[in-house]
Amino acid sequence: MATKGRMFRGCTTALATPFTENGIDEAALRKSVDWQIGQGTPTLSPVGTTGESPTLSHDEHERVIALVVEQSAGRAKIMAGTGSNSTAEAVRLTKFASKAGADAALLVAPYYNRPTQEGLYAHFAKIAESVDIPLVLYNIPGRTGRNVEPETIERLSRSARIIAVKEASGSLDQVSEIIGRTDLTVLSGDDSLTLPMLAVGAEGVVSVAANLIPRDVAAMIDAFDRGEIDQARKRHAKLFPLCRDLLGIAPNPIPLKAALALLGRGNGLLRLPLTPLDERGRATLAASLKRYGLDPNEAL
């Protein structure tokens, strides 16, 4: 079955948002965009969970989207995070992303209020009928408290606006069912599961690890697409321990921000209620980076 949303196949980087003590570090964000494009990253996804969207003000959220679109200047596609647990707020943010020039919007499922499947359908359907930009659903039940079931995703896939789904349920059965039921492009939402998901029909990843090693994430996907399965497995085996630590030592993006700081690519600042890694976590992460072949530049 031909799929919608193939423009977003491959590696999308879930961009971290750099901070100063007083707000968004715009210079660092521009530098991050340029670095990603220089690494060959085809798609950038600002202000998702990795971008700490829950702690950005509405003005900051919009500013990050506009800045990333402006700085990319057409050199990469932009999949802007515009989800909310308020349907009206998600509509407003998605309209802003469209006006700012984003290529698509990434819509996390409503969190905390735990809607029914009918409520989830109505939420996404309302956004789809209200905007003129391609939409990517984002299912991450571990964060939202509610799984978007394959039957609901199938119903939503009938909308011309909804073109893809970022799947982070951790279930290959669910991924397989979505692929069998819909013509959506399925993207991995878990770096460590990207290769297994490719094996059952996914077409890419929205990657946290790509903040550090976008070329390596893309190379694994490319090897799989060329049919070089042994090479893809070898790349997965190298990526897996680092991906596990980036997403397992502490909630994302705490380890990622620490890794960027260790590599001299950020100050590590987070916003409460997220707090920095403790000494043990930093040591574990630094060791993981070294094993991968990255060189932390801070003394532990």
CA angle (277, 281, 285) in 5-degree steps: 105
Confidence of residue 294 (pLDDT cuts 50, 70, 90): very high
Whether 236 is in a domain gets the answer no
Whether 272 is in a domain gets the answer no
Whether 131 is in a domain gets the answer yes
Catalytic residue among 166, 238, 290, 292: 166
Confidence of residue 66 (pLDDT cuts 50, 70, 90): very high
Tokens of 281: 């976590």
Q: What is the mean pLDDT of residues 143-166?
A: 97
Domain CATH code at residue 113 = 3.20.20.70
What pLDDT, on the 0 to 100 scale, is given for residue 298?
Answer: 44
**Active-site annotation holds for 166:** yes
**Active-site annotation holds for 238:** no
Say yes or no to pLDDT of 297 above 90.
no
Query: Can you give the pTM of this predicted structure?
Result: 0.95
For residue 39, the SS3 value is: coil
Whether 189 is in a domain gets the answer yes
Q: What is the mean pLDDT of residues 73-97?
A: 98
Q: Which residues are paired to 187 by β-bridges?
A: 166, 204
What pLDDT, on the 0 to 100 scale, is given for residue 1?
Answer: 52
Say yes or no to pLDDT of 169 above 80.
yes
Q: In whole angstroms, give the CA distance from residue 46 to residue 185.
A: 20
Confidence of residue 295 (pLDDT cuts 50, 70, 90): confident
Whether 24 is in a domain gets the answer yes
Whether 293 is in a domain gets the answer no
Q: Which residues of 173-185 are buried (b: 16+ CB within 10 A; e: fewer)?
A: ebbbbbbeebebb
What pLDDT, on the 0 to 100 scale, is given for residue 3?
Answer: 74
Catalytic residue among 4, 138, 257, 292: 138
pLDDT in tens, 19-34: 999 999 999 999 999 9
Say yes or no to pLDDT of 2 above 60.
no
The H or E element that residue 137 is part of is strand 135-139
Q: What is the mean pLDDT of residues 158-176?
A: 97
The average confidence (pLDDT) of the chain is 96
What pLDDT, on the 0 to 100 scale, is given for residue 296?
Answer: 76
Residue range(s) defining the domain that contains residue 118: 6-231
Whether 103 is in a domain gets the answer yes
What pLDDT, on the 0 to 100 scale, is given for residue 300?
Answer: 34
pLDDT in tens, 86-103: 999 999 999 999 999 999
What pLDDT, on the 0 to 100 scale, is given for residue 254?
Answer: 97
Whether 285 is in a domain gets the answer no
Confidence of residue 299 (pLDDT cuts 50, 70, 90): very low
What pLDDT, on the 0 to 100 scale, is given for residue 153?
Answer: 98
User: Domains in the chain: how many in total?
Assistant: 1
Radius of gyration of the chain measured on its C-alpha atoms: 18
What pLDDT, on the 0 to 100 scale, is given for residue 178?
Answer: 98
Specify burial of residue 278 (Cβ count, 10 A radius: 0-12, 13-18, 19+): exposed
Say yes or no to pLDDT of 205 above 90.
yes
Whether residue 42 contacts residue 77, with contact meaning beta carbons closer than 8 Å, is answered with yes
Please give the C-alpha separations between residue 51 and each of 15, 55, 60, 64, 148, in angstroms, as whole numbers.
6, 9, 11, 9, 22
